[in-house]
Every structure is written in C-alpha cells, then in structure tokens.
A and B are shown apart, each in its own frame.
Chain A
Amino acid sequence: MLSESDLGALAITLKLALLTTLILLLLGTPLAWWMARSRWRFKFLLEAVVALPLVLPPTVLGFYLLVALGPHGPVGGLMESLGGRSLAFTFTGLVIGSVFYSMPFVVQPLQNAFTAVGRRPLEVAATLRASPLDRFFTVAIPLARPGFFTAAVLGFAHTVGEFGVVLMIGGNIPGETQVVSIAIYDHVEGLEYVHAHWLSGGLLLMSFLMLIAVYALNRRFSVVQP
C-alpha cells in the first residue's frame, strides 16, 4: 500500500502539475495566440525556443535552471540579495522548472488550435462590432476550446511524469520536493517493489484515463465543427 511519504509525494506531484498547468495556460494563451497570428520574420526563432524542451535532455535543462536558480545564479542571487532564499531545492524552483519543461506541450496545441480557427471568424466578429479583445474572448477562445483541453491535459500529464528536471533542481526532499516519479525511483533503488508497483500502477492508470478523456472529448468537439 501507499506509505505516508508516498501520499506526500502524490500530493506534491498533483499540486505541482496543477499549478504548472494553470501558469502555462495563463502564459501560453497569449504566446500561442501571438505565434498563430504574427507574421514576424523571426517568429521561427521563438518557436524553436518553445519547442526546445521536446528534444533537450531534461538533465540539461535542469542543470541550467539549477545554475540560474542557485545562490550564485542570476535569479537565485537576486532572490538572496532581496532577503529571500535561492530557489534551488524549493517547490517554487520546481514550478519554474516545470513551466519551462512542459511549455511546448501547452503552447503547441494552443497555437495549432488558434491557427485552425483562422482569420475569417475574427473578421466576421469585427464586422459585427466586436473589439479585438471582445473577439478574442467570444470567438477565438470558444472556437479553440478543444485545443485548450488538449493543452491542459498534456501539460498536466507531462508535468506529472517529469523526472530529470525535478531531480536536478528539486533534489529529493520528502514532503517538500519529492514527487511520485522520484519516489518510485527511490523504491526501486531500495528494492521495495510493492510500493513501486502501487505508485507506478497509479500513474499509469491516471495517464491513460487522461488521454482517453482528451481523445473522447476531441472527437465530440470535432463533430460540432462544420
């Protein structure tokens, strides 16, 4: 069965994934909107940066974040000089790392969804007296709804599954930065296969259920589209 520290890891994992997803939806929506609409010549550079975590080994990303967030890094140093503490080995640090790590999984579905909406519905809304902000909230977002759902679920699931980044910048502090994927690793290291089974099975089931929900709902949404 699950031990108390396993439950703690589970709670931290869910909290981390929820918070990361929320932040990514807030930051990713304007970014994806801009990337879908902009005709800026160098847009591809930004697209490459957003996609980087897809190909970068998580330990590399984690290493650079550790350097940046640690007491001698630019961010961590700034925090310390302001009387705080460096962000390495803290939950906040984990959230920052996860936001970078899961960014493409949120931004890309949103960008695709906004691109699929196209210009026409927004032009129609403009001729129906809707201001740019009004059009964004009443036309672009509702029409991109399947993309939002996909983005949220992928961002959440991907954050739940991360390992390398968390290990690098979060360490493995039970009750503070120990997430499920690392707890499983610890169990295996300690030959506690029963615990590892429970946690792994739980994650497997959760991931599968979330993907089922994505595909089922996207099919329903796509029927509504003309």
Chain B
Amino acid sequence: MTIEARFRIDRDDFSLDVDLSVPSRGITALFGPSGCGKTTLLRAIAGLEYHHDGFLKVGDRTWQDSDCFVPPYRRPLGYVFQEASLFAHLTVRRNLEYGIKRVPAAERKVSLQQAIELLGIGHLLERRPARLSGGERQRVAIARSLAVSPRLLLMDEPLAALDVNRKQEILPYIESLHNDLDIPVIYVSHSPDEVARLADHLVLLEAGRVTASGAISDMLTRLDLPLAHGSDAEALIEATVAGHDEAYHLTHLDFTGGRFTVVRKELPVGSAVRLRVAARDVSLTLEWQSGTSILNIFPAIVDEVIADGEARMTVRLMVGGVPMLARITRKSASVLGLKAGKLVYAQAKSVALLS
C-alpha cells in the first residue's frame, strides 16, 4: 500500500511539480528549505487547497483525480498545523471531542482515552487553550488530530513555533506514535535534527521539485545528495538492545553490521533504538586496531569516495549492508589508497542514541 501524489501548480511567483510515491507506513519527512513548497504540497494532500492539476491516491482510495475531488472534511486524515490552532471557545476536552463526534462509531480506532494518554494531557482536560503553554497546546493539537482515527496523519512543522525545551518535550510523543499506532505520517520539516530523529522515509524538495526520495538511512548517506556533505553529515543505524555490561556500566546494541557498545542506558533488552554516527567521528584503518581506546570498530567495505572541498573527502562505507559515512582528509585517503570495494576498519569515536 502506498500514497501516490501528483500535483502541478503554476503561479506567477511559485511553481510546484511533484510526482511522489511514499510508503503508507512509518513517518515520511518532506524536507527542504523555506519556500520550497513543502507546506503547499501538504495542504494539497489534505485538500485544504484545490489545484485542478492533481492526483492523489491513499491506499485503494482516490482522493483526487481529474474528475473527483474529495473535500477535506470527507478525507480520513489528521492535520497538525505549525501553530496549535486550538478552538479558543472550547475546553481542551471539547477540542478533543470535536473531531471524534464527527467520525462514525465504526471508524473509530483510536479512543479519546488513548489519544489523551499517548500525549500525556489528562491533567489539562478542563482548561481553556488560553491557559496552556505552547508545548501543551501542541500536544493537545496532536491528540485532537489522532482522535479522529486518521488513515493518514499530516504534520506541518509542528515543532517550528516552539523553543528548544518545548521541542524536547514533544519529540518523544511524536516518536511514540510510530511504535504505538500504525498510522502513516507525512511530516514537513526544515530541521535536519527532527528528520534524523523521526523519519523513516525522506523526500527532498527544492524549488517545488522532488530532488530525491528514499529510505532515511540511504538518503542521509547518498554522496550525490547534499545531506552527506554538510559538516553535520551522519548515518542512522537501527539497532536493538542486546544486553548490559553491569561490571563496566555499558550497554550493547546489535545491528546487522555488528555490535555497538555505549555508556549504559536504562533500556529493556530487545527494545529498538536509533543510533546516529556523525561522519566526522568515524576514522578508518587498514588493519584491525587492538591497542585502542575505541570500543566500536567494524569491518567495512568502501562503497564510494568523493572530495569535499580541497582538503577533505567523504567516504561511504557499507557495514554489513548498513551505510555509514566517514569524513577524512584527502591525504589520508591517498595514504590508505581508498577506492570502492576496499576492505577497511571503521572506528566510531562517538555514537548518539536517538530513542
């Protein structure tokens, strides 16, 4: 099952020409600079804007084609706006109930109680929106959009209007949507950090065109895309908690390419985690290093090497089928004789746990 969207919009100052197919599970991030058309595309998918040259199919349902246009209120979707936009005249509870009341009982898959618990807003129910903090408001808005049991959840930079602390307050809730509810999400963002934490699938937009789209771990490490070349270039690795080393207070995390050892985290064995390894924290050696303080060393095959400016090179590695990046000097690359297909050892100096 997929979501297929094709839209062509031509305005004097802006044009959008998008033909997109995204998996209808997990979180798909629409990522790009301001003004690239992310929000316009999301609004077109929701039906909030009508563009006659459009086609939209979600699973087996056609929401728009040349002779049909399902109005937004008949589309089983949820929409979270950048500003929470709660109804000022209703309490939190009545805000949440507004959508539920309008969904036929047979289509209700998410209960009010479930939405309240997922977003942790049980203590706010009798309050008016004016008496909530920015973060609380956005949590209520997310719960309200979930409570209509959407078959597709659209989120338009839901964290952009919040300060760093509020973002940290909400991110875990959005991450948990992922695990607790099987609702596909299209998430608009211009923050690489949010994308790395949340997305499973990434669509890059620039000036109204899709420049690339694919699984997040591939997209972040593709050397033909800009993401792999910034100073924050990084790889994402999905791993599971394999066990804890009580003596040294460490945690072991297994992925298909091997095992990471990190400072102990209080996570149950078997739980899934997402790791991020920055390109600048990975160094390469030709032989296995034994006398080193670095714990995380993996055999890897060089996939591609590309120059980044005069002095640096970015190396894409495959570690047991999982892509990783290393940022090294051109001199080192030349000394090591790096080329595609060469076997090396990748040493990860530091690893960050995302969830």
Contact = CB atoms under 8 A, between A and B. Distances in A.
Interface of A: 120-121, 123-132, 134-135, 138-139, 142-143, 145, 223-226
B81 A128 contact: no
Contact of A127 (B78, B87, B129): B78
Interface of B: 46, 48, 71-74, 77-79, 81, 83, 85-89, 98-99, 102-103, 128-130, 144-145, 148
Given A124-B85, A143-B89, A129 B128 contact: no
A224 B129 CA distance: 9
B48 A130 contact: no
A129 B85 CA distance: 16
Contacts of A145: 89
Nearest to A120: B85
Given A120-B85, A128-B144, 16 more contacts: A123-B72, A123-B81, A125-B87, A127-B72, A127-B145, A128-B99, A129-B73, A129-B74, A129-B103, A130-B73, A132-B73, A135-B73, A224-B89, A224-B130, A225-B88, A226-B129
A120 to B, nearest CB: 5
B98 A224 contact: no
Contact of A143 (B78, B79, B87, B144): B87
A28 B73 CA distance: 27
| Among B78, B88, B103, residue most surrounded by chain A Cβ atoms (within 10 Å) | B88
Contacts of A120: 81, 83, 85
B73 A226 contact: no
Contacts of B99: 128-129
Contacts of A142: 89
19 contacts: A120-B83, A121-B87, A123-B81, A123-B85, A124-B85, A124-B87, A127-B48, A127-B72, A127-B77, A127-B79, A128-B102, A129-B148, A130-B73, A134-B73, A135-B73, A143-B88, A143-B89, A225-B88, A226-B86
Nearest to B130: A226
A147 B74 CA distance: 30
Contacts of B128: 224
Most chain-B Cβ atoms within 10 A of its Cβ — which of A121, A124, A138, A139? A124
B98 A121 contact: no
Contact of A224 (B74, B88, B103): B88
Contacts of B98: 125, 128, 130, 138
A207 B144 CA distance: 44
Nearest to A143: B89
B92 to A, nearest CB: 13
Contact of A131 (B73, B85, B129, B145): B73
A154 to B, nearest CB: 22
B341 to A, nearest CB: 51
A143 B145 CA distance: 20
Contacts of B77: 127
A138 B145 CA distance: 17
Contacts of A135: 73
A125 B102 CA distance: 10
Nearest to A221: B89
Given A131-B73, A142-B89, A224-B88, A124 B81 contact: yes
A134 B74 CA distance: 13
Nearest to A124: B85
A142 B95 CA distance: 13
Nearest to A119: B48
A126 B130 contact: no
Contact of B88 (A125, A126, A134, A226): A226
Nearest to B47: A126
B142 to A, nearest CB: 13
Contacts of A132: 73
Nearest to B147: A128
Contacts of B83: 120
A130 B88 contact: no
A135 B102 CA distance: 12
Nearest to A142: B89
B45 to A, nearest CB: 11
A39 to B, nearest CB: 14
B133 to A, nearest CB: 12
A44 B319 CA distance: 67
Nearest to B104: A129
Contacts of B73: 125-132, 134-135
A126 B48 contact: yes
Nearest to A118: B85
The 6 A-B pairs with the shortest beta carbon distances in the complex, nearest first, are: A128-B99, A129-B102, A127-B79, A126-B72, A142-B89, A226-B130
A17 B20 CA distance: 60
A123 B81 CA distance: 10
Given A121-B87, A123-B48, A130 B102 contact: yes
A126 B98 CA distance: 11
